[in-house]
Amino acid sequence: MSVLEMKDIHKSFGSLEVLKGIDLNVDKGEVVAIIGPSGGGKTTLLRCATTLETIDKGQIKIGDDELVTTVNDKAVYCSKKMLQDFRSKFGLVFQGFNLFPHFSVRRNITEALIHVHKKPAAEADKICDNLLSKMGMLDKADAYPCNLSGGQQQRVGIARALATNPEIIFFDEPTSALDPELTAGILKVIRELAEEKMTMVIVTHEMSFARDVADRIVFMEGGVIVEQGPAKELINNPKNDRTKEFLAGY
Amino acid sequence: MKDLLSILTQLGTGFLTTIILFCLTLIFSIPLGLLVAKGRMSKNIVIRSVVRFYISIMRGTPLMLQLLLVYFGPFYLFGIKLRDLGIGKIDYRDIAAVIGFSINYAAYFGEIFRSGIQSMPKGQYEAAAVLGFSKSQTYFRIILPQVIKRVLPAVTNEVITLVKDTSLAYSIAVVEMFTVAKQISAAQTSVLALFVAGAFYYLFNFIVEIIMNGIEKKMSYYQ
């Protein structure tokens, strides 16, 4: 069963066509890594799926909720009310963390639970404690983001994305802002989520991580999916010449 | 010594007017400034242009002239008797002073708030959006609290300037401290009253500084 369905996604910035008809389905429990050179459209694709960019043409669904469909060759988005529902179906982990600096770690995680999902504070706190202990950060619940390391901030970012119990989590280069040591810690957290069969889409430059953790790898360049396949096979035996060339750089 | 005591008691009543004028101006101009900032950033070109023009006029002409215009304008432009514009016991000149200061300071605050709002990283809006916060929740819970911290030093500057600017109300004969000081000074042919008034203004601003520093410190728990 598909959790995420993206069909024939087209997106241009002005005259620059960034996505030229992308199809991407992600099944429940599947981990998909998107790799490829910068400017190839990976992040834009993720941003379209997470409502941060609007597409020109195509269809996006998470579960039964349709974000956008195409009528007469033009993208038609769902209502505002539906958009709110749609946003509760997924979580997004940013490259730059984007934590709320004026909130404690706890409030970063519970704010949406309490004020968007209308959960009682006690329940939100419980969810927060569970997630923080899973991240090994329970002792930092009352700290502020500015007092945390990059790795710790990203853990909070992941906890925040997980808090609303989404059906799928998107990661936009979650370790690009971290040094190698901290990167390992974050990758471990993602690996654990994969073992728990969390559905995930990860844009990453960490090839060995993608090979080990992802079920499937998608190689994107120039706004199209050049090649995709089972993770190990694609990394070890790429068929397309461009994929080979790209992977040779790692 | 007796002189000084009489100066202090006379200035005291004027000082009260100064404080009221100061407080009312802040109460009106800060929320108005938020609206100005919003209008200045509006997607609607008409709203944006009108607000831009308003800011330009407010910043580009003397505050004293604006006060005179607000006070005398209704009579010269529309023939309304100024006496009729008072509310109960409050003379229109006092109301005009509050209006004049408020619309002038709203323009300055508006630009300060705009700079604060526009300095917010896009990521904060995006994080709030994907978490499902509505536009107003995002504004009041995520953006505004951070903007307040960012603009605080600039706002402090304006507030301090306002304390001193209240003396311009003498131009429409509002009986605030500076007006009283000038009257005493003329009657006694001595500058003592003006010096005492100066000390009052300084003391007032000294307290403003302490309060604003306190707020800044309170908000320094994060970066």
**End residue of a domain, out of A115, A135, A165:** A165
Whether residues A42 and A135 share a domain: the answer is no
Q: How far apart are CA B56 and CA B49, in angstroms?
A: 10
Whether residues A22 and A52 share a domain: the answer is yes
Q: Name the average pLDDT for chain B.
A: 91
Tell me whether residue A228 is in a domain. Answer: yes
Check residue B13 and give its pLDDT: 84
pLDDT digits (tens, 9 = 90+) for B41-95: 999 999 999 999 999 999 999 999 999 999 988 888 887 777 777 777 788 888 9
Cross-chain residue pair A102–B124, CB shorter than 8 Å: no
DSSP B90: B
Candidates B120, B124, B130: best to mutate against A (most CBs of A within 10 A) is: B130
Q: Which of A68-77, A98-107, A175-184, B139-148 has the lowest mean pLDDT?
A: A175-184
Q: Is the pLDDT of residue A158 over 70?
A: yes
Q: How far apart are CA A203 and CA A177, in angstroms?
A: 13
pLDDT digits (tens, 9 = 90+) for A93-144: 999 999 999 999 999 999 999 999 999 999 999 999 999 999 989 999 999 9
Tokens of B162: 């306002």
Alpha-helical segments (H) within chain A = 42-49, 80-87, 105-115, 121-134, 150-163, 180-195, 207-213, 231-236, 241-248
How many domains does one find in chain A? 2
Whether residues A73 and A114 share a domain: the answer is no
Question: Percent of chain B beyond pLDDT 70?
Answer: 99
Q: Is the pLDDT of residue A147 over 70?
A: yes
Q: Which of A152-161, A169-178, B73-82, B166-175 has the lowest mean pLDDT?
A: B73-82
Q: Residue range A49-54: average pLDDT?
A: 95
Cross-chain residue pair B141–A111, CB shorter than 8 Å: yes
Strand partners, A172: A203
CA nearest to A156, candidates A51, B123, A146, A166: A146
Cross-chain residue pair A87–B130, CB shorter than 8 Å: yes
Q: How far apart are CA B67 and CA B48, in angstroms?
A: 25
Tell me whether residue A143 is in a domain. Answer: yes
Of A101, A116, A146, the CB nearest to B131: A116
Size of interface A-B (CB pairs under 8 A): 59
Chain A touched by B88 (CB under 8 Å): no
Whether residues A199 and A78 share a domain: the answer is yes
pLDDT digits (tens, 9 = 90+) for A209-241: 899 899 999 999 999 999 999 999 999 999 999
Whether residues A172 and A161 share a domain: the answer is no
Chain A contact set for B142 (CB, 8 A): 100
pLDDT digits (tens, 9 = 90+) for B151-179: 999 999 999 999 999 999 988 888 888 88
Of A51, A101, A117, the CB nearest to B130: A51
DSSP B141: I
Check residue A77 and give its pLDDT: 94
Check residue B1 and give its pLDDT: 65
Q: Is the pLDDT of residue A171 over 90?
A: yes
Tell me whether residue A95 is in a domain. Answer: no
Check residue B23 and give its pLDDT: 95
Whether residues A106 and A85 share a domain: the answer is no
Strand partners, A224: A221
Of A50, A51, A115, the CB nearest to B137: A115
**End residue of a domain, out of A146, A165, A184:** A165
Instruction: Sort A125 into a burial class: Cβ within 10 Å, 0-12 / 13-18 / 19+.
Output: middle
Check residue B190 and give its pLDDT: 84
Cross-chain residue pair A90–B130, CB shorter than 8 Å: yes
Tell me whether residue A175 is in a domain. Answer: yes
Judge contact between B222 and A146, C-beta under 8 A: yes
**End residue of a domain, out of A165, A187, A222:** A165
Instruction: Sort A53 into a burial class: Cβ within 10 Å, 0-12 / 13-18 / 19+.
Output: middle
Whether residues A84 and A108 share a domain: the answer is no
Q: Read off the CATH number of the domain in which A25 is found.
A: 3.40.50.300
Question: Percent of chain B beyond pLDDT 90?
Answer: 65
Helix (H, G, I), strand (E, B) or coil at B223: coil
Q: Is the pLDDT of residue B142 over 90?
A: yes
Check residue B66 and give its pLDDT: 95
Whether residues A6 and A85 share a domain: the answer is yes
Give the β-pairing of A168-172 and A90-93: parallel
Q: Is the pLDDT of residue A46 over 90?
A: yes
List the 211-250 stretch of A: residues with Cβ below 8 A of B.
none
Check residue A244 and give its pLDDT: 92
Q: Residue range A237-248: average pLDDT?
A: 92
Chain B touched by A99 (CB under 8 Å): yes
Per-residue 3-state assignment (H helix, E strand, C coil) for A79-127? CHHHHHHHHCCEEEECCCCCCCCCCCHHHHHHHHHHHCCCCCHHHHHHH
Tell me whether residue A177 is in a domain. Answer: yes
Check residue A144 and give its pLDDT: 95
Specify the residue for token string 């006060």: B67
Please name each of the domains of chain B with its CATH number. 9-221 (1.10.3720.10)
DSSP B81: -
Q: Residue range B194-222: average pLDDT?
A: 92
Check residue B112 and give its pLDDT: 97
Per-residue 3-state assignment (H helix, E strand, C coil) for B5-59? HHHHHHHHHHHHHHHHHHHHHHHHHHHHHHHHHHHHCCCCHHHHHHHHHHHHHHH
Chain B touched by A82 (CB under 8 Å): no
Q: How far apart are CA A215 and CA A40, in angstroms?
A: 21
Whether residues A81 and A104 share a domain: the answer is no
Range of the domain at A159: 100-165
Instruction: Sort B223 into a burial class: Cβ within 10 Å, 0-12 / 13-18 / 19+.
Output: exposed
Candidates A97, A99, A100, A105: best to mutate against B (most CBs of B within 10 A) is: A100
Tell me whether residue A94 is in a domain. Answer: no
Whether residues A135 and A241 share a domain: the answer is no
Q: How far apart are CA A173 and CA A94, in angstroms?
A: 7
Strand partners, B85: none
Whether residues A159 and A222 share a domain: the answer is no
Whether residues A125 and A148 share a domain: the answer is yes
Q: ipTM score here?
A: 0.93
Cross-chain residue pair B132–A112, CB shorter than 8 Å: yes
Check residue A102 and give its pLDDT: 96
- Predicted confidence band of residue B186 (pLDDT cuts 50, 70, 90): confident
Judge contact between B72 and B64, C-beta under 8 A: no
Residue of B nearest to A49 (CA): B130
Cross-chain residue pair A164–B123, CB shorter than 8 Å: no
Which amino acid would we find at residue A228?
A: Q
